[in-house]
Amino acid sequence: MHTWTLLVALLAAAALAYHVGRKRAIATAGGSGRINTLHSLPAYYGFYAAMWAAIPALLLLGLWLGVQDQAINELVKASLPPQSVAELTPGALGLLMNDVKNVASGNIASGAVTPAIQTAADQYARLQHLARWTQWLLVLALSVAGMSFAWSQTRPTMRARNRVESVVLGVLILFSSIAVLTTLGIVLSVVFESWQFFQKIAPSEFFLGTLWSPQTAMRADQVAADGAFGAVPLFTGTLLVSFIAMAVAVPIGLMAAIYLSEYAPRKVRSVAKPLLEILAGIPTVVYGFFAALTLAPVIRDLGEQLGFAVASESALAAGLVMGIMIIPFVSSLSDDVINAVPQAMRDGSYALGATQSETIRRVVIPAALPGIVGGVLLAVSRAIGETMIVVMAAGLTANLTANPLASVTTVTVQIVTLLTGDQEFDSAKTLAAFALGLTLFLVTLTLNIIALHIVRKYREQYE
């Protein structure tokens, strides 16, 4: 008697309603020979009936499930001896209720089972049972009611097709609003926590301070620094790593895109393009240990031979590997926009006696440039948001430096270190992660908006 059996029953009811609705429509038309007198095809009357059988019942079920636990809890709580409840803190009351539930479902309670708890547990189990039966009864009754309503509505003039259409529209709107509302929820939660952070630390210190040392004392007797929340070194670190990554990804990605879209024979293209895109499918943690274990030692040895002091975790190693990770982004997006340049442009250039590379340089790339810039900006926001590679290869020290051979840290890395492990959510240290996240979000959002704007402008060019 679980909820999912009820769902299956509803599904069956809907299938039955479909069948009945369809039959009913044919019958009202006066037999299967006269279905052309119906406004819509019989199947639409079937769908209409199925929707009436399923949707109101589903809504009721959803509402019921949302309220049931709360309601039973309240009822049980009210049935507990008032004097024993009055002196409990909310936390203790919660524990007590957990015990009641455990006893009711036959699990082990946290303490001794008093008679009061036993009665409450019995009460709880009884209410659960009652609720489940009522739920079944009401939901199925509503389903049947819906079905009969559809039955009574069915006549040849009813515009079942249009009504089904509007339900489809409603369902689509519902699902797209789930996506939008989730985004909104994430943003709001980050904004809220950031607000709390800025109550503790002044925004000026956060945005302008050059010292990042978020370790604060967790207990009063602990010896620790006061904590400094100057985010500037994090942002410079992010910029440095992203800059190195783009310096790798843009030229390589662009050249690869030009080769693949303009020069490569079809056979080469059909092999090389998927291979290149496999790069995008490698998990970033794999890139991370490639950077940390393979590339970083090579860079350090090379640097030492040349007489540079290289940290074993360097911005360079992280940036180079991140650049390789981003290559398929740049090449794929550039390839698309280069292919979108009409062949007529190339023909026009060839017909004037231009060579292939002249055509690419003077006609194709300028025509595709807005799209390429858009792609690069999207890649930049990807680079800024990348975490795993930097965690593993760039280090954790918040150095304010432009030296790619030094160890740096980025915004994303600090968010990870601030939030991993047991943390308390009222200290500036933990809340700082949300402020960093919000800033990062705003930066990438701005970049994405600019990129989308540029790409859209480009699309209009050949219309």
Instruction: Point out which residues bind another protein (CB under 8 A).
Output: 266, 342, 344-355, 358, 362-363, 366-367, 461-462
Any bridge partners for residue 212, and if so which?
229
Measured from the CB atom, is 304 or 358 closer to another protein?
358
Measured from the CB atom, is 367 or 383 closer to another protein?
367
Q: How far apart are CA 22 and CA 91, in angstroms?
A: 56
Q: What is the smallest separation between the CB atom of 348 and another protein, expressed in angstroms?
A: 4
Tokens at 444, concatenated: 């990438």
Amino acid at 233: P
Strand ranges, E, within 214-259? 228-229
Tokens at 72, concatenated: 């039973």
Q: How far apart are CA 156 and CA 455, in angstroms?
A: 50
Q: Is 264 helix (H, G, I), strand (E, B) or coil?
A: coil
Measured from the CB atom, is 134 or 461 closer to another protein?
461
Q: What is the smallest separation between the CB atom of 275 and another protein, expressed in angstroms?
A: 22
Q: What is the smallest separation between the CB atom of 367 and another protein, expressed in angstroms?
A: 5
Measured from the CB atom, is 115 or 353 closer to another protein?
353
Measured from the CB atom, is 40 or 359 closer to another protein?
359
Residue with tokens 């908006």: 449
Q: What is the smallest separation between the CB atom of 269 and another protein, expressed in angstroms?
A: 11
Residues 147 and 49: beta-carbon distance below 8 Å: yes
* DSSP category for residue 32: G
Any bridge partners for residue 228, and if so which?
213
Measured from the CB atom, is 62 or 342 closer to another protein?
342
Cα 92 versus chain centre, distance:
36
Max Cα–Cα distance, the chain, nearest Å = 99
Tokens at 344, concatenated: 């007529």
Q: What is the smallest separation between the CB atom of 346 and another protein, expressed in angstroms?
A: 8
Q: What is the smallest separation between the CB atom of 256 and another protein, expressed in angstroms?
A: 21
Measured from the CB atom, is 217 or 340 closer to another protein?
340
Contacts of 167 by beta carbon, 8 Å cutoff, 6+ apart:
51, 55
For the chain, the straight-line distance linking the first and the last C-alpha, in angstroms and rounded, comes to 60
Measured from the CB atom, is 20 or 363 closer to another protein?
363
Taking 3-state DSSP, the helix, strand and coil percentages for the chain, each rounded to the nearest 5, stand at 80, 0, 20
Measured from the CB atom, is 7 or 264 closer to another protein?
264
Q: What is the smallest separation between the CB atom of 357 and another protein, expressed in angstroms?
A: 11
Give DSSP secondary structure letters for 97-123: HHHHHHHHTT---SS---HHHHHHHHH
* Cβ neighbour number for residue 135 with a 10 Å cutoff: 18
Q: What is the smallest separation between the CB atom of 351 and another protein, expressed in angstroms?
A: 4
Residue whose C-alpha is closest to residue 170's, from 409, 101, 162: 162
Contacts of 80 by beta carbon, 8 Å cutoff, 6+ apart:
96, 116, 120
Q: What is the smallest separation between the CB atom of 331 and another protein, expressed in angstroms?
A: 22
Q: What is the smallest separation between the CB atom of 353 and another protein, expressed in angstroms?
A: 3
Amino acid at 314: S
Measured from the CB atom, is 337 or 393 closer to another protein?
337
